[in-house]
């Protein structure tokens, strides 16, 4: 009877370890994403890119900077440092100094990101936004 109980206990432990490994793998492969939620009177980045509004609009998202320039991302992917969750808007008329950004390294590249979403007022044209005001 004891050999059977040991075998069952061993299988149970092995099964639990396999589940823990699978959960860790999924977290590494599919990092958590955090899309910004528009407040009343705002739209999110996905709406801005999809609707391409004709006049000034307040768009809410996360600011990221890297070798590609300054972007307003729909959200952040929960890696370290975070990645930009697309779509995104390339930002014109504003610089990194307008935001409180954190910095980190991804390989040999330095990236910066805003840990909190911000609202920007400006005009959207395709995947670009000409920023008039940083509303935060």
pTM for this structure? Answer: 0.75
* Residues with Cβ within 8 Å of residue 51, at least 6 apart in sequence: 43
- For residue 2, what are the domain limits? 1-30
CATH number of the domain to which 74 belongs: 2.40.50
Buried b (16+ CB within 10 A) or exposed e, 98-125: bbebeeeeeeeeebbbbeebbbbebbbe
37 and 65 together in one domain? yes
Residue whose tokens read 């959200």: 75
25 and 58 together in one domain? no
Is 81 or 3 the better-scoring residue by pLDDT? Answer: 81
Per-residue model confidence (pLDDT) at position 6: 61
**Termini Cα distance of the chain:** 67
* Residues with Cβ within 8 Å of residue 95, at least 6 apart in sequence: 70
User: What residues pair up with 133 in beta bridges, in sequence order?
Assistant: 121
pLDDT tier, 12 (very low <50, low <70, confident <90, very high otherwise): very low
Per-residue model confidence (pLDDT) at position 3: 63
Over residues 46-94, the pLDDT tens digits come to 999 999 898 999 999 999 999 989 999 999 998 789 999 999 999 999 9
- Is residue 130 pLDDT above 80, yes or no? yes
63 and 127 together in one domain? yes
> How far is Cα 17 from Cα 8, in angstroms, rounded to an integer?
14
pLDDT tier, 18 (very low <50, low <70, confident <90, very high otherwise): very low
37 and 22 together in one domain? no
pLDDT tier, 119 (very low <50, low <70, confident <90, very high otherwise): very high
63 and 111 together in one domain? yes
Tokens, residue 61: 């998202």
- Is residue 110 pLDDT above 70, yes or no? yes
42 and 2 together in one domain? no
Q: State the chain's mean pLDDT as an integer.
A: 82
Q: Are the C-beta atoms of 123 and 130 separated by less than 8 Å?
A: yes
């Amino acid at each position: 009877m004891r050999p059977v109980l040991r075998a069952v206990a061993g299988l149970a432990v092995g099964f639990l370890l396999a589940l823990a490994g699978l959960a860790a793998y999924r977290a590494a492969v599919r990092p958590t994403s955090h899309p910004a939620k528009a407040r009343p009177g705002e739209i999110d980045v996905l709406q801005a890119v999809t609707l391409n509004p004709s006049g000034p609009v307040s768009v809410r998202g996360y600011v990221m900077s890297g070798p590609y320039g300054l972007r307003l991302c729909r959200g952040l992917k929960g890696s370290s440092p975070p990645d930009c969750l697309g779509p995104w808007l390339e930002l014109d008329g504003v610089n990194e100094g307008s935001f409180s950004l954190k910095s980190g390294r991804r390989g040999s590249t330095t990236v910066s990101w805003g840990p909190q979403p911000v609202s920007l007022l400006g005009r959207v044209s395709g995947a670009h936004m000409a920023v008039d005001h940083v509303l935060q």
